[in-house]
Structure 1
C-alpha cells in the first residue's frame, strides 16, 4: 500500500521530515504518492498542528538504518534461535559476532544501534522542548498535550529498546547538542530506566486518542491503543503480571483491533495498517522517489540472488530449529519461511531461481511482484515495519493471566491463546487443535511456544527468552556460544565509553 507523503524541513538538520498518509487498501497497487510540502506551504491549520514538522521528524527517524534496519535486525533476530545471519559466510563480520555471541565492544552494529536510538530520544526531547517554549499564547492546549504524548511514546519505545539491549543506560530528558556520551550523564539502573519508560507511556496512554479518532490520512500516527499495548509489554518484561494483563485488556476491549486479518495477509502490502496493526513504521516508494521515504528493512532480509531474483542482501534467514518447531500442517510456516529448494513456489506463485545462497529466507518480507513492477524496484523500500501487532497483545494477555493463576484467569488465558490458534487454523479443523490443559506449567509452555510461532522472525524471541530465564539453555542447545550473565546484554559501545572519558562503564563480561 502506498502512502501519500507530506514533507517539511525545520531548523534541525538531524530531522528528516516525513509524514506518511494512506490510500485505501483496495487499490494499493495503483496509487502513487502525491503532494510534497515545504515549511512555507505546510497545511496548518488545515493539517494537524504547529509541531508536526518536528513530530514527523521523529517518526521519520524510526525508518533509519540504525533504528529499525540492520543493527536492529542483528540485535533482535540474529541473536535468537529463530534465525541465522544468512547472506554469505564472509558478509558482515559484525553480524557474525551477533549470531555466534562472539561480540566485542568495538562491534559497529552495537554502536550504530546505540546512536540511532539516542538520536530518536533527542528528537523526542526536542519536540517536548518546542512545546514547553512555544511563544504563541494561542496554541490550543490540546495540541500541546497531543504533541507531548506522541513524543513521550516514541521516547518510551527508544528507551525500552535501549534497556533491553544494554541494561544500564543514561536517561536523558533534555535536548543535548553533543554526543550523548560526551554529555557526561551517568548510566541509570534498569529499574530506573523502566520507571522512566512507564511514566512516558502512561502519559501517552492517558492523553492520546484512539486510532479511529484520527482522519485516515494520518494513518500510522501513534494512538492510545499503541501506548497501552507497549506499556503491556513493558510490564510483562518486568513480570508485573496484573498491570500487563490490565493494559492488554484495555487494547482487547477497545474495539479498535481484532484477529480478522488472515495470517497470510498481515505481511502483504495490503495488510499494512490493518486491524492487526498497533505500532507500524510507515514507509513508501515511488518510481520518481524510490528510497528517500522508504525503509531498507525489507531489502536487508530479501532473497539474495542474481538478475530477477536479486531482491536484497539475504540476511536474517530462518533457522533449522525454527523450521522444525511448527506443528504439522501449521500454515504459518509457509508464510514465515521462504524455501528456495527446487520445485518450491512462492506465496505469489513464482518458482525461485536455482542455486540461491541459502535454503531459507524470511518470507514475511517477500514483496508482491505487481508492486515491484509498479515501482520498478525489487528491494521493497515501500514495505512498512511491523513493530507491535494485535496477536502479540492477545498472547501477552494469555501469559499474564496464566502467571497470575486461578480458575478464572486460566480460562481467560486459554480463550486468548486459542483465539490466536483459531485465526491461524482458518477453516482447516484438522490442524492446530485448541489447547485444553489447565495445568499452569503446561499452559505456560503452550503459550511460550505459541508466541514463538505466531511472532516468528518479528524481533521478540530473544527478549522473550531473556525474560523467561531460558535464554542460555535455548541458545546453547542450538550450538551458540552463549555465556550466561554476559550475553543477555550487548556490550556498551567502546566508542561511547571513550567519548564519555570513562563515565560510562562496561557491562559484565566484556572487559
Structure 2
C-alpha cells in the first residue's frame, strides 16, 4: 500500500540554491531546466531581476502547492475518484480503506486522505498568512506601496485557492486569517459557516484581481495574475449560483487579451502545452538529471501506468471509468486523448499511447489517465520515469469559456452561451466538420444539458466533475446511477471533519452531518 510515499524535498533556501547550482552546472539552460515556482536560483536570490523583498515568503507558499498532501494522492482521490469520471484503479487492495471508501462511500472519520488534505491545505493557508504578516508588519523590509499591495494580492490569491478547496470538501472550516504563535491556539479556532468562508474567498480574490499584474516576465512563469484571480473568482461565484458576477469575472479573463485556446487539444496535455496560451493557472514542477524529483510533484506518478520494467510508470490510480467513456460523442478526439486503453488478447492493437507505444498485455487496469502520460524521451533525459516534472493544470481558458457559457445561459443570454460553447467544441473538432456538430438549441434546459455535457468531456479527469455535480444538485442521482450506490445525499457531498483534527481541537471542531 502506497499511502504516504512522499518524496522528501529540501526545506531550506541554502539547500535549494545548492540544488539549482548543481543542476545548472550539469545541464544546458533550456525547457528541461526551467526553475520551478517557489524556488530561488542563483539569478533571483535574494531578489534582483524583477523579484521582490517578500518573495522568500511568497515562494514558500507556492512551493506548498507541490506538496504531497496538496496536489497528489489525497487530492486525486477526493476530487476525482469520488466522482463518476474515475475508478480507484491500481490493484483491489491498494490504498486500503482510505482509498476504497473514496470510491464507494461512506468515508470514515479516521480516513487518512481526508486528514492529509486538511493538513496540506491549511499548511498552504498558513504559508499565505505568513507572507501577509510580513507585508503588514515587518518594518525591516523596505518596499514601495505598490510592491506591498502586489505581494499582498499574491498571498491572498493563494489563501483563497486553499480555502475554496477546503470549503467545497469539508463545508464548515475554521477561518484562519492571521499567524498564530501558538499552534495549539490555532487548533482551537471554531468552524465558520460556508457563507463566511466564501465571503473571505471573494474578498481575497477581488483584491487579487484588482492588484495583480496581467502577466509576469518569463523568469517568474506560473505566478498568479489578474486572469488567474478573475478566473478562480468566476468559479467561486458559479459554485454559489451567482450567475451575473460569474459572467463578469469570466469576461474579465476573456477580454484581457492574455489567453486563447491552444490549437491542439492533444498537445495541450503534453509537456509542450505547459504554461501555454490556455494556461490560466498551473502548479509548476520540474526535474533534472541531478535532481529528478526534489522539486517536482507526484501528481503524474500516482496516476501513471502500473506495470513492470519500463512500464512501471506509477501507481495506476484514478483510472477513467466506463461511465466517462460512454459520455463522449462519436468521433470526439478528446476521448482517446483522455483515456489510455491497455492491450488485451481480444484487442491487441488497442493499447497505443499518444507517442505510439503499444502497452503490454497483462496490465492490472484496462484504462489509465492519458492526460498525465509522460514523454518517454523526457523520462530518459531527466532520469525519472514517474513524471515529477509534470505541471498540474488548475485552471485553463476552456474552463473559463464554459463557465461563462453556463452563467450566460442561466441569465437568459443564450446567444453568448452558444458562442462560447462553440469555441470549445470547434477546437476539439480540429477541422473535422463531420463530428461534434455545433449546438444550436436556444431552449434553456437543453442548452444547460449541452453545457454540462461539454464540461464533462472537455475537462474529463481534471478534478472538477465531483464539485460540478454537487453545485448542480445532482450528485446523488448521478453517482448512484454510475454504480456508487452507497452515496447518501445528506452526507457524502462533504467529507467528514477528520477525527484527528477534532481531537486536536479538544472538541471545538464538530463533525459534519451523517458521520
Q: What interval of TM-score do these two structures reach, taking the shorter chain for normalisation?
A: over 0.9
Q: Is the 8 A contact 1:73 1:316 kept in 2?
A: yes
Matching residue of 1:67: 70
1:508 and 2:513 matched:
yes
- Residue 183 of structure 1 deviates from its aligned partner by 3.2
Q: Is the 8 A contact 1:181 1:504 kept in 2?
A: no
Q: Provide the rounded CA distance (Å) in 2 between the counterparts of 1:250 and 1:356.
A: 46
Q: Provide the rounded CA distance (Å) in 1 between the counterparts of 2:332 and 2:214.
A: 34
Post-superposition CA distance 1:480-503 (Å, at most 9, x none): 110011000000000000111110
Q: Is the 8 A contact 1:160 1:197 kept in 2?
A: yes
Q: Provide the rounded CA distance (Å) in 1 between the counterparts of 2:364 and 2:257.
A: 45
Distance 1:138 1:500, change over 3 A: closer
- Residue 178 of structure 1 deviates from its aligned partner by 4.8
- Residue 41 of structure 1 deviates from its aligned partner by 8.1
Post-superposition CA distance 1:419-474 (Å, at most 9, x none): 10000001111000000000000000000000000000000000000000000000
Distance 1:264 1:180, change over 3 A: farther
Which of 478, 483, 486 lines up with 1:479 in the alignment?
483
Distance 1:31 1:80, change over 3 A: closer
- Residue 46 of structure 1 deviates from its aligned partner by 2.9
Aligned 1:235-274 pairs, distance under 5 A: 235-274=237-276
Q: Provide the rounded CA distance (Å) in 2 between the counterparts of 1:269 and 1:411.
A: 35
Aligned 1:67-466 pairs, distance under 5 A: 67-93=70-96, 94-136=98-140, 138-179=142-183, 183-211=187-215, 214-341=216-343, 342-343=348-349, 344-405=351-412, 409-466=413-470
Which of 32, 55, 75 lines up with 2:58 in the alignment?
55
Q: Provide the rounded CA distance (Å) in 2 between the counterparts of 1:462 and 1:31.
A: 34
SS at structure 1 position matched to 2:281: strand
Runs (5+) with no aligned partner, structure 1 = 1-6
RMSD: 2.4
Q: Provide the rounded CA distance (Å) in 2 between the counterparts of 1:450 and 1:241.
A: 18
Q: Aligned residues, how many?
A: 491
Q: Provide the rounded CA distance (Å) in 2 between the counterparts of 1:37 and 1:509.
A: 46
SS at structure 1 position matched to 2:33: coil
- Residue 411 of structure 1 deviates from its aligned partner by 0.2
Distance 1:422 1:104, change over 3 A: same
Runs (5+) with no aligned partner, structure 2 = 1-9
- Residue 73 of structure 1 deviates from its aligned partner by 0.5
Normalised TM-score (structure 2):
0.91
277-286 or 183-192, which moves further after superposition? 183-192
- Residue 18 of structure 1 deviates from its aligned partner by 10
- Residue 42 of structure 1 deviates from its aligned partner by 1.4
Distance 1:102 1:115, change over 3 A: same
SS at structure 1 position matched to 2:88: strand
SS at structure 2 position matched to 1:129: helix
- Residue 260 of structure 1 deviates from its aligned partner by 3.4
